[in-house]
Amino acid sequence: MKCIQIVAALVLLSACWKPVDFREKERPMKKVWGNKPVYAAMNTAKQITFLVQKQPLHKAGNIYAIGNYIFQVDVGRGIHVIDNSDPVKADRIGFLTLNGCEQISIRGSYLYTNSFADLVTIDLSNPTRPIEISRVPNAFPEMAYNYPMAQPAETGYFTCPRTDSAVVGWIKDSIHATCFK
């Protein structure tokens, strides 16, 4: 077992950000306890909505400051809007759901971010009601399979995700392991 893990770890390291399939003979024959992807159809996963209430933070990501606002990426899930007009009381006030999101930059009233491989422009004229106004599909092709949710957070066995759907979460289950990290 240890040997399989080492081999798998080496293979994984050689291609850090790409899920790696086991070769047939290295794959555990029996079902093992591991992570299974939760899929959403790509077009559903790419829909953007704005929640006007504070949301819990899952995985803290990049931050960006402009005017009285701070934006913090929730890696792979979206962007928290933080009202910083009084830093002592600053708090999250809303959440832009944006699956596959990792990066953020702002100029004027436009926020530029990524949803998987797409470059998305968000109108922030009203920072408490941000809306998508344009999208460049497949702007960063590498991010199509190298997005934050493409692998489970923890190490161990997992089912290699399909690439025609978006992974929006991972659940523990008894699986036929095809990947390891």
Partner 1 sequence: MRPKLAILISGLLIIATTLFVACTKDGTASNASTGKGGSLTRFTISGDHLYVVDNHFLYAYSLLNPQKPERVYTSPLNFDIETIYPFKNYLFLGTRTGLYVYSIDTAAKPRLIGEARHARSCDPVVANDSVAFVTLKGSAICGPATSGLYINDITNINKPILRKTIELPDPVGLGLQDSILYVCCGPAGLKVFNVKQPYSPTLISTAMDGKYVDVIPYNGILICFVEDGIILYDITKPDLPQKLNKIVN
Residues that bind partner 1 (CB under 8 A): 13, 16-17, 56-57, 60-70, 72, 82-93, 102-110, 112-114, 119, 121, 123-128, 133-134, 136, 139-140, 142-143, 146
Whichever of 26 and 123 has its CB closer to partner 1, that residue is: 123
Whichever of 117 and 175 has its CB closer to partner 1, that residue is: 117
We find the least distance from the C-beta atom of residue 113 to partner 1, in angstroms, to be 8
Name the CA dihedral angle for 162, 164, 166, 171, rounded to a multiple of 10 degrees.
Answer: -30
Whichever of 154 and 173 has its CB closer to partner 1, that residue is: 154
We find the least distance from the C-beta atom of residue 125 to partner 1, in angstroms, to be 6
Whichever of 99 and 114 has its CB closer to partner 1, that residue is: 114
We find the least distance from the C-beta atom of residue 152 to partner 1, in angstroms, to be 17
We find the least distance from the C-beta atom of residue 143 to partner 1, in angstroms, to be 6
